[in-house]
Amino acid sequence: MPLLKNALQTLLMNRPIEFFGPLKGLKVVDLTTVLMGPYATQTLADMGADVIKVEPPAGDTVRGIGPTHSPRMGHIFLHVNRNKRSIVLDLKKPEGLEAFYEIAKTADVVVYNIRPLAMRRLGITYEKLKALNPKIIYAGIYGFSEEGPYAGRPAYDDLIQGMSAVPDLMSRSSGGEPRYVPLTLADRTVGLMAANAILAAVYSRNTTGEGQEVEIPMFETMVQYVLSDHLSGQTFVPPTGPSGYPRLLVKERKPYKTLDGYLCVLVYNDRQWENFLSLIGKSEWLETDPRFKNIGARTKHINELYALVAESMSTKTSAEWLSLLEGADIPCMPLNTIDSLLDDPHLIQTGMLETVTHPTEGQIRQLGVPVQCSKTKINHLQRPARHLGEDSIGVLREAGFTDDQINHLKAIGATSQFQSEQRCES
């Protein structure tokens, strides 16, 4: 039985995959690690791109983070590396670097997220790749633009959140100490920006015939993200007021406590405030209280008005308020926890959360793709996250390497191939 199980796992993991989706035919060589870059390339892979993840012999660091069934298959890795192929190449060995060049010759995109200086030390530059493949898109995702004084500095999600004033906003809104948002906010935001920028460059290449180098810096991306909301009066020269969007910074902007739980409620436009005041028996305030005159007046007094909503919410149960607010066409939803999200009927029905069987990791919860195209169907799980080097031989053969050449690369430690007998028996 174990032999049969291994044979079935091998068949599942190595069966031919016909990728489909709007990016079918796009070949991406992925040199990224940890989260920001892999999230960008998984976005492309989910849309049908053939993403070849190039890993060092030790593998992507994030493989070791969090709960695992099999060694080096951590939960975060599973959620940002599906739909890719994995090849091991030691780029510090000349033979490994030459193998990479051969693969890049037929690629549309090469993506990396280490500092440009480190890429130059490896010998992987736009100039080198352009000479091999004039149509290549060479995309770098890293901390700071190469044109500024911070160029070359190391950058992580926490650092970029801090530099782009996110903890300051948390402090201003709560009255407490500065805190990072408990999400990899910068990594994921910049990852999405990177996917957009790469596709823009691909579109340009398809219309002009020319590849190009693309820079996606974390700091600049997050500053745009933050200041679009919070530049406020500092938008104008000279300033017409302080920075900060008041509605987002008030202490009362939070889920409201009811008699038996919490609700998320947003009373925002003129009609919603009219209906809400009617629900609490204060319709006359629309005429007598200048705070309700228009959205500008409400924004100036938003903390007081949100405090009014909070006080009102505390007088009834969540079910009572949901019925009243929905009837008054005021946006409201229950407050989810991470655990309650797993049972959300909408997410389950739309496929955003489903349980699938990974060939080696057993049953896992898989996150779906939130977008769909009517003509080019998107299947979020065309290939589960791969073990380290699971596709090394296949990718090298595609690049024209003979079995003897592949065996030589394996013998000198420039590549390796994950073997089926290494898989867990869970």
pLDDT in tens, 395-420: 999 999 999 999 999 999 999 999 75
CA distance 129 to 115: 17
pLDDT in tens, 142-170: 999 999 999 999 999 999 999 999 999 99
pLDDT in tens, 222-241: 999 999 999 999 999 999 99
Domains of the chain as residue ranges with CATH: 2-226+351-422 (3.40.50.10540), 256-334 (3.30.1540.10)
Task: Please give the pLDDT value at position 358.
Answer: 92
- 367: β partners: 353
The SS3 assignment for 265 reads strand
- State residue 17's pLDDT score: 56
Task: Determine the pLDDT at residue 25.
Answer: 95
Of 6-10, 89-93, 153-157, 416-420, where does mean pLDDT reach its minimum? Answer: 6-10
The two tokens of residue 414 are 């420039």
Length of the chain counted residue by residue = 426
Please tell me the chain's helix, strand, coil percentages from 3-state DSSP, rounded to the nearest 5: 45, 10, 40
Output the pTM of the full model: 0.90
Half-sphere exposure of 369 (CA within 13 A, CB side): 21
- pLDDT value at position 19? 67
pLDDT for the residue 379 = 72
Residue 18: the pLDDT is 62
Sign of the alpha-carbon dihedral angle for 399, 136, 84, 80? positive
User: Mean pLDDT score of the chain, rounded to an integer?
Assistant: 92
